[in-house]
Structure 1
Amino acid sequence: MLEAFENGRDNLQYDFMITTDGETYYWMRITAHIFRWQEDNSVRMLVYRQNIDEQKRHELYMMEQMQKDSLTDLYNKVATQEHVRRMLEQGPDQLFAFFILDIDYFKEVNDRLGHAAGDKVLVEFSGTLAGQFGKDAVVGRIGGDEFIAFLSVTGAEMAKEHAGELIRALRNRTEGGVSITASIGVVLAVGKETDFETLYKKADFALYKAKRQGRNRYVIAAADDENK
């Protein structure tokens, strides 16, 4: 407080969570006005405590909604990129798996059944995709029928298991009889050795390979894909 006052700040504000029973927490705000008392030249502080739980929770809710894709409720493109970058920074020595997925022949769904049916497929696909990952993974829709999933893994086998499970889980059939499958490109990398753009580029090339090989499958990016 004294340091802030010496640096020219006479107002401080601090938001924090507090509990009275050890179980239920709520948001409080402390607002402090710092001033010098002329009579003895001391520095004093007036403090105002305010319960801001409803306001704070609304702010956090709105911030969360700004990160969501309006149709699927997954992270949107910007939020997906930001969360992936943050995980890479926080885990420089951690091995990560980056998945790019898209729905095979999705255009056929829109053309044959209409965009409402296409939206329904996207919502169901997103729900299934999100259900395959834990809360520590990043799962987002980055446009159209293209999705990203990102998580830490213990090794290549874990990434392959995830990819195989995704291929099986995402197989579906629309009410109009159109088969729904997914193609997946996967890349593995250590946090400090890569960035979002590089991961995306490599995984996208692996996705292209999966489609060329017949779709409804996954391809793990090879080391020699580095410059492609």
Structure 2
Amino acid sequence: MGDRSGGQDMLRREYDRINAKWLNAHFRAGAGLAAFICLMEAVVYFALRWMGGMTASRSLYIGKYMLAPSGLNLLAVVAALWVKRSRLPLRAKIYTVSMALVFICCVTYTVHNIFPSLCMAFGVPIVLTTAYGDRVLTTMTAAGCILCKTLSDLLFHWDPEASSKLGTAEQNMDFALSLVILAAVYVGCMVMISIEQEKNRISIQRELEKQHFQVEALTDSLTGVGNRQALQQMMDTLAGEGPEPEYSMAILDLDNFKEVNDTQGHMQGDRYLRELGNVLQKTRLGAAYRFGGDEFCILFRSRTKSQLCEACQDIQHSFSEAALSRELEQVTISFGVAVHQPGVGPAELLRRADTALYQAKKARGSICFYQA
């Protein structure tokens, strides 16, 4: 369960990284759209002047159709940028950028409602939200677009020369059709999100199962620590890390464990091994592996001799204080420790630790460091 939870956390962090990356692209799309609208307003201004089709005064046109909408769009971009750079949660940033884009489309459509085809711009904010795979976000964005489109047609008449959007049967039909098209865009986006979520769910499930099987293949089923294959992989990793990685190794086993099996039975012997595995899993200073039988290996990174001795003593104390040791005959643990030395590879270090363990077994429950 812990491995599965860890895998889910890792995938969640990866999704957040991807969403944060798309958020930057989403914001740039909104800022780029605002800049493009400002440019087109300037182009339309000069085109109308050249064709002689401008009925309003120059100052009125610049103020009402260029500066006002560009200023409102700029405020939306600045607000979105401020939120994006704030310490708010990623989800809040995504929603803010999405709503800012809805606002930009609403301003553009309201100011230039003489062009009915601009209502299709409301489809852009909806489509851009599908990359997040968030149904609520897409629904809120679509609702905002449809609401803004409706309010703009019913309440706002920025251009007095433009005819009302409603009144005749044809206008009412165009209004209804535009809303149906936006609703269809929303439904299409929701279908895309559903398909993508199903694909992601299957991929995540397979990845979690793969990680679970990999962990099982490297974990000793009885004690819960790494098995011999995991130890070999770690030793191969150490051998390829560089000329002088600083690490130390300790080999430990239960004293007179064969006698425990002979007198108390293998079931009780397995209980001792499981209890020792529980103790070793709680060791923070090193990584534990079951070497074979009742022998275990602990790999320590960048630890002093005193720290190694203290870690071994803590394991001995924790095992002696376990409920099993009070219920059954108390069994001691012996340690053989080999401290890292320049030019000594992991295989040789393991052999030295085994030699030190042989010396430690002469005095049960002792800790012996390898001496050349």
Q: Which residue of 2 aligns with 1:118?
A: 269
Residue equivalent to 1:221: 370
AA at the equivalent of 1:208: Y
**How many Å separate the matches in 1 of 2:243 and 2:15?**
33
Matched, 1:170 2:167: no
- Count of residue pairs the alignment pairs up: 179
Instruction: Report Cα offsets for 1:91-139 as digits up to 9, x if no partner.
Output: 64342120000000111221121111111110001111221235xx321
CA distance in 2 between counterparts of 1:91 and 1:183 reads 31
Question: In terms of Rg, which structure is larger?
Answer: 2
Do the aligned residues in 2 keep the contact of 1:85 with 1:195 (CA within 8 Å)? no
Deviation of 1:175 after TM superposition, in Å, equals 6.3
2:292 pairs with 1:143: yes
Q: Which has the higher contact order (CA 8 A, sep 6+)?
A: 1
- Where does residue 29 of structure 1 map in the other structure? none
Q: Give the structure with the higher percent strand.
A: 1
Identity score, percent = 26
Structure 1 65/82 Cα, relative in aligned 2: closer, same or farther at 3 Å? Answer: same
Kept in 2, the 8 Å contact 1:97–1:153? The answer is yes
Report deviation, 1:154. Answer: 3.6
Distance in structure 2 (CA, Å) of the matches to 1:149 and 1:91: 21
Contact 1:80 1:138 in 2 (8 A): no
The 3 A distance-change label for structure 1 pair 152 and 102 is same
User: 1:18 corresponds to which residue?
Assistant: 15
Structure 2 portions without partners, runs of 5+:
1-12, 21-89, 92-195
User: In 2, are the aligned partners of 1:95 and 1:155 still within 8 Å (CA)?
Assistant: no
More moved, 197-206 vs 173-182:
173-182
1:158 to 300, 307, 321: 307
Secondary structure of the structure 1 residue equivalent to 2:339 = strand
Q: 1:161 Cα deviation (Å)?
A: 1.9
Alignment partner of 2:340: what SS?
Answer: strand
Check whether the contact 1:83–1:138 (CA below 8 A) recurs between aligned residues.
no
Q: What is the CA-CA distance between 1:72 and the residue it aligns to?
A: 1.0
Matched residue, 2:251: 100
Corresponding residue SS for 2:361? helix
Is the 2:334–2:367 contact (alpha carbons within 8 Å) kept by the matching residues of 1?
yes
SS at match of 2:262: helix
TM-score (norm 1): 0.70
TM-score (norm 2): 0.44
Q: How far apart, CA to CA, are the structure 1 residues paired with 2:354 and 2:247?
A: 16
- Contact 2:248–2:349 (CA under 8 A) maintained in structure 1: no
SS of the residue aligned with 2:268? helix
Which of these residues, 204, 209, 214, is aligned with residue 359 of structure 2? 209
Q: Check 1:184–1:91 CA distance in 2 against 1; reply closer, same or farther (3 A cut).
A: farther
Structure 1: segments with no counterpart, 5+ residues: 1-15, 24-48
Query: Aligned to 1:205, what secondary structure does the other structure show?
Result: helix
Q: Contact conserved, 2:226 with 2:290, CA < 8 A, in 1? A: yes
Per-residue Cα deviation, 1:120-164 (whole angstroms, up to 9, x for no partner): 110001111221235xx3211111100000021242222222222
Which of these residues, 319, 333, 336, is aligned with residue 182 of structure 1?
333
